[in-house]
Structure 1
Amino acid sequence: MIDAIGAVLAVVVFEVVLAGSIEQSSPFMELSKLFLLGGALGGAAGALLGLVLKKHLIPDFLRNVATLSAVLLTFVCANMIGHEGGLVAVTVMGLVMANIPGMPKDGILDFKESLSVLLISALFIVLAARIDLESLALLGPGLVVVLLAILFVARPLTALVSTLGSDMPWSERTLLGWMAPRGIVAAAVSALFGLRLEAAGIEAGNLLVPLTFSVIVVTVVVHSLTSRPLAKLLKVAEPEASGVLIVGGNPVALKLASIFQENGIRILLADASWSQASRARMLGIPTFFGNAVSELADRKLDLVGLGMLLALSHRPSLNALACLRYRQEFGTANVFTVRRDQQSLDKESETVAFNFRGRLLFKEKITLDFLEQELAAGRKIHLTRISEDFPFTNLLEKTGGTEPMLFAISPQGKLHPFSEEATFHVSAGWKVAYLAVQADMAPADEAESKAKAD
């Protein structure tokens, strides 16, 4: 809403001031006309399109195209009613559609994200191409004054005023005052104003666009370099997304979760079985009792600090659903599912299609059933530290290759599962876990013993 209100308000006031006829054209009346008429048209269009989508009157493969066409049509019609009314109309249209219960919008949101990145990138390139480098030199010392005023006066005051009366901690208010919104709306509106000022023959009107882009570039660079250190200093930074969400509470999942936790990796285990969830809690493992792909999980599952999924359930369908659900959160590269023995599946129809599952964990021989049998027979998961005295090649000789290896942990505490597509490089400082028989628990030589002691 801020983008639409700010842009329309700026355009209306600019038109009135440029015309120099406040008596003939009241900004309030112009704004009311735009918001009332544009909002009414956008609300009607949103309700109609939402109803059509909810009733499945448009084929799935045409939903994105139909939605984009309806948005463009609404925008053009609203602009015919009043200048810049289209922005208000499509904003209200989106608000109405987002609040229609049961309307399928996941695909539209994904399409919108991709479209936004493409259009905003193209818009910045087009607008930046209009900047004359010589005009930047004309800004002079005034540019520094403007930047300092925006960074240390305007934005902190904006954050302070907008959070008055709230219970927001001062540490968060401070960060908000340093990282206030800026960017595409200011760039687009300034470009429009610059063109109008030049057309009106106003002196120095061509400096508005380079001034705005200078502010955007400088603030983006400054904030990108300082935001993370400031958040850490104020103790409001979220933890790095290096944690692991584990679906399933069987013995293999519990063993892996325990190892991860002992090595400082943030974990959360989700299981709908009370007995398995209770067993995990007794081991001190953070647990979510419930289905990881349920509505309850959507509302209650805390994913802060988590960046990877390991689907280790005995149910292939649940593993596949979890991979489909969390690939949007973690990315396809960080969604893994465990292999199952073919004979353990009841029918061929139980085998999940490749497109519906995540990346397969471990090597082909290391299935969930195999791991459970080996752990029950007394085999252990051995964790070895790689060092200069005991390089990874020594471990490969000891284990006979990467076949029994399960995962590696980088010096930064990032988990890297071994799989058919593993591309990471293990070096000194890493830890590698592999399936070892009891006899292998003794150090292979003094070098490995020293590496483990380190």
Structure 2
Amino acid sequence: MATGVEGGLTPVMAFAVVGALGVGSQWLAWRLRMPAIVLMLLAGLIVGPGLGLLDPSEDFGALMQPLIAVAVAIILFEGGLTLNLKSLQDAAEGVKRLVVIGAPLGWAASTAALHWVAGLSWETSAVFGGIMIVTGPTVIAPLLRQARLRRRPAALLNWEAIVNDPVGALAAVLAFEVVIVLQTASGVGHAAWELFVGVAVASVLGLLAGWGVARAFSRGWVPEYMKIPVLFVVLLGVFAVSDAVLHESGLLAVTLMGLLIANVELPSYTEIRRFKEQATVMLVSGVFILLAANMDRQTLMALDWRALLFVLSVILIARPLAVLTSLAFSAIPWSERLLVAFTGPRGVVLVAVAGLFGERLTALGIEDGTQIGPLAFALVAATVVLHGFTLQPMAKLLKLTAADRPGVMIVGGSAWSVALAQALGKLDLPVIIVDPNHSHLRAAREAGIETYFGDLLSEDAEHRLDLVRYEKVVATTDNDAYNTLVTTDLGPEFGREHVYQLKRVRGGSARHALPATLGGRPIGPDETYWEANARLREGWEFRVTRLSEEFQLPDWYEKNPEAIPVAELGPEGALRFLGPDDTPRDLNDVRLVALAPKREERKDAA
């Protein structure tokens, strides 16, 4: 293995190791249905203080802190880019309270816990307490994706995490400026002026840069292939200039820049956000591995019972006190208040900023500044593991999950769609039929199926439909181009393996045919809209059959020689749509959904 001068990894090899561990942990977590952050934390601890294979401070040297700073800036920008003000709706009051009231209360409660429980000085406690306001969008986002919460509690946690990240960093800056005044006897007015100028510059820079980028992109001043590179350069420039004026104010600038771009109806917004989401997955993975691997074994071993009490006091007292007080006398139901109060995972920003201020406090002669880093890491590790495994069960207990089972969204209100929805309803799956033509939904409404009147790709649908309830999309309209557009557009969000559509009608001329690379996967017999609905008129129907030890798949085929499997629901509750080349699994308790000719007398096979 190639090594560096002092026996460590070369920077290139270290980059490769961090990337492999980060992305590998995310993939393994997806396979095992575990919180990805937990595996990344474990991977970093194993290769760092555990085995000593990776020492980021030595392997990356002076690049370590700038790398983390830039990564955090990009992560926060992507967070701001997801904050469309229209998505707030009925969560607006709660978010405002959590930021305006909850943040200062959280700062005070965390400072008290640090001083009286962890035993830190008031100076160090005030600085670190400000940083602890943050709840970590890098951790919240994957947890929300896994827990599948309802829209409002998910919006509360997501908005609080993203907005409070730069607020927490600025609170730490404010406390640090006060500490400098006390330590150096410089003027209070001077420190206050520096803070005011820094915040003002950051706000103006962020908003101006966001406006400039949006205007340039919408006017066509930047070619499509250069939009992402230009965005990155502007982002880094804004962060660097703002941070040069006031340390950590760059986080505020990039968050405001992302927030403005998210709310100006930019034509390229969807492509930009998807690219940034992919970049953020890489950066979150890398930063978590770096921070975990960079922890010193002796420092971790030095954490004692006071550190444990500190973590417990933050989770059980400081966080709930701030949230419940800020949401008191609001319209937010108690179940949602409790979920938010006991869900406060900390992430990348906390560890990165805490380490920076710990060094600065130590340089000022405040000895216990060295304890900020280990305590921050202990808090992150504890909250990540705790909330990673408890958020989903707690949400189910409080009945705040979108659905016990992820459902199916059917686009198009034909007779075939209604029949499929009724069959899926027998499996106790949430099903909704979406159609922009009100008359097409009449049969679905009469059958008691949930419907949505409107275009699925419209902005109204994005904000009114709770998409997290649904895992799969089936496009079944009579417009092949629209089916292809829907499945292609929603493919990145739902996953290409979860979008399906009826077969496209092949035109007589090859030049009029749509590219095969677009659209969704085939479903059932892979028939066109006209063929599928004609089959129902000819006397076919959807049937649901349960396989068992007494009635296995070969028995089903023997009894239903003409039947065509369309979907299966496994014993574990996972739905799988079947194409013309797919075979159902021969397992007990698998329930098959199939198309078969009607018969006058039926005998239940289950």
RMSD: 2.6
Number of the residue aligned with 1:393: 554
Number of the residue aligned with 2:128: none
Moved more, 80-89 or 170-179: 80-89
> What secondary structure sits across from 2:467 in the alignment?
coil
Change (3 A) 1:303 1:120: closer
Write the letter of the residue equivalent to 1:8.
L
Q: Does 1:143 align with 2:324?
A: no
Change (3 A) 1:288 1:83: closer
Number of the residue aligned with 2:271: 107
Picking from 282, 288, 291, the partner of 1:127 is 291
Question: 1:311 offset after TM fit, Å?
Answer: 0.7
Contact 2:477 2:483 survives alignment (8 Å):
yes
Structure 2 counterparts to residues 109-258 of structure 1, below 5 A? 109-200=273-364, 202-240=366-404, 242-258=406-422
Q: Does 1:13 align with 2:137?
A: no
Picking from 419, 438, 445, the partner of 1:274 is 438
Q: Does 1:24 align with 2:187?
A: yes
1:119-178 CA distances to partner (integer Å, 9 max, x unpaired)? Answer: 222222222222112222322111121012101110001102321342111121111110
Separation in structure 1 between the aligned mates of residue 285 and residue 207 of structure 2, nearest angstrom: 29
Separation in structure 2 between the aligned mates of residue 137 and residue 107 of structure 1, nearest angstrom: 46
Change (3 A) 1:424 1:172: farther
Number of the residue aligned with 1:49: 213
Change (3 A) 1:52 1:273: closer
Write the letter of the residue equivalent to 1:355.
T
Write the letter of the residue equivalent to 2:227.
R
Separation in structure 1 between the aligned mates of residue 464 and residue 371 of structure 2, nearest angstrom: 50
Number of the residue aligned with 1:325: 489
Write the letter of the residue equivalent to 2:591.
K
**Structure 1, unaligned runs of 5 or more:** 444-448
Question: 1:295 offset after TM fit, Å?
Answer: 3.8
Number of the residue aligned with 2:596: 436
The alignment covers a number of residue pairs equal to 442
> What secondary structure sits across from 1:360 in the alignment?
coil
Picking from 473, 478, 485, the partner of 1:314 is 478
Moved more, 198-207 or 104-113: 198-207
Question: 1:94 offset after TM fit, Å?
Answer: 2.4
Number of the residue aligned with 1:67: 231
Separation in structure 1 between the aligned mates of residue 261 and residue 367 of structure 2, nearest angstrom: 45
Separation in structure 2 between the aligned mates of residue 374 and residue 393 of structure 1, nearest angstrom: 25
Separation in structure 1 between the aligned mates of residue 188 and residue 177 of structure 2, nearest angstrom: 9
Number of the residue aligned with 2:85: none
Separation in structure 1 between the aligned mates of residue 273 and residue 544 of structure 2, nearest angstrom: 43
Separation in structure 1 between the aligned mates of residue 334 and residue 234 of structure 2, nearest angstrom: 44
Change (3 A) 1:119 1:304: closer
> What secondary structure sits across from 1:62 in the alignment?
helix
Contact 1:384 1:431 survives alignment (8 Å):
yes
Report % sequence identity.
32
Q: Does 1:292 align with 2:475?
A: no
TM-score of the superposed pair, with normalisation by structure 1? 0.88
Moved more, 190-199 or 221-230: 190-199
> What secondary structure sits across from 1:356 in the alignment?
coil
Contact 2:206 2:257 survives alignment (8 Å):
yes
Number of the residue aligned with 2:575: 415
Change (3 A) 1:441 1:216: farther
Change (3 A) 1:386 1:22: farther
Change (3 A) 1:233 1:380: closer
Q: Does 1:375 align with 2:536?
A: yes
Moved more, 275-284 or 81-90: 81-90
Change (3 A) 1:389 1:22: farther
Question: 1:413 offset after TM fit, Å?
Answer: 4.5
Change (3 A) 1:181 1:162: farther
Separation in structure 1 between the aligned mates of residue 416 and residue 509 of structure 2, nearest angstrom: 24
Write the letter of the residue equivalent to 2:351.
A
Contact 2:344 2:387 survives alignment (8 Å):
no
Contact 1:241 1:304 survives alignment (8 Å):
no
Moved more, 96-105 or 283-292: 96-105
Change (3 A) 1:400 1:350: farther
Question: 1:316 offset after TM fit, Å?
Answer: 0.3
Structure 2 counterparts to residues 75-86 of structure 1, below 5 A? 75-86=239-250
Change (3 A) 1:43 1:436: closer
Contact 2:210 2:261 survives alignment (8 Å):
yes
Number of the residue aligned with 1:4: 166
Separation in structure 1 between the aligned mates of residue 322 and residue 403 of structure 2, nearest angstrom: 27
Separation in structure 2 between the aligned mates of residue 93 and residue 221 of structure 1, nearest angstrom: 32
Structure number having the greater helix percentage: 2
1:204-245 CA distances to partner (integer Å, 9 max, x unpaired)? Answer: 543321211111111111122222222222222321452111
1:303-337 CA distances to partner (integer Å, 9 max, x unpaired)? Answer: 35221111111110111121123224422211101
Number of the residue aligned with 2:565: 405
Larger radius of gyration: 1
1:67-91 CA distances to partner (integer Å, 9 max, x unpaired)? Answer: 0001111222223333333223223
Contact 1:274 1:289 survives alignment (8 Å):
yes
Separation in structure 2 between the aligned mates of residue 41 and residue 381 of structure 1, nearest angstrom: 59
Write the letter of the residue equivalent to 2:203.
G
> What secondary structure sits across from 1:354 in the alignment?
coil
Number of the residue aligned with 2:25: none
Change (3 A) 1:412 1:128: closer
Question: 1:181 offset after TM fit, Å?
Answer: 4.9
Picking from 513, 528, 531, the partner of 1:351 is 513
Write the letter of the residue equivalent to 1:290.
G
Separation in structure 1 between the aligned mates of residue 555 and residue 203 of structure 2, nearest angstrom: 70
Write the letter of the residue equivalent to 1:269.
I
Write the letter of the residue equivalent to 1:250.
S
Change (3 A) 1:160 1:312: same
Write the letter of the residue equivalent to 1:406.
V
1:68-118 CA distances to partner (integer Å, 9 max, x unpaired)? Answer: 001111222223333333223223322333333445322221122122222
Separation in structure 1 between the aligned mates of residue 250 and residue 391 of structure 2, nearest angstrom: 35
Number of the residue aligned with 1:446: none
Write the letter of the residue equivalent to 2:553.
F
> What secondary structure sits across from 1:152 in the alignment?
helix
Separation in structure 2 between the aligned mates of residue 341 and residue 46 of structure 1, nearest angstrom: 44
Contact 2:358 2:371 survives alignment (8 Å):
yes
Separation in structure 1 between the aligned mates of residue 185 and residue 441 of structure 2, nearest angstrom: 69
Separation in structure 2 between the aligned mates of residue 53 and residue 130 of structure 1, nearest angstrom: 40
Moved more, 64-73 or 321-330: 321-330
Question: 1:179 offset after TM fit, Å?
Answer: 0.3
Number of the residue aligned with 1:427: 587
Question: 1:34 offset after TM fit, Å?
Answer: 0.7
Write the letter of the residue equivalent to 1:370.
E
> What secondary structure sits across from 2:242 in the alignment?
helix
> What secondary structure sits across from 1:359 in the alignment?
coil
Separation in structure 2 between the aligned mates of residue 138 and residue 108 of structure 1, nearest angstrom: 44
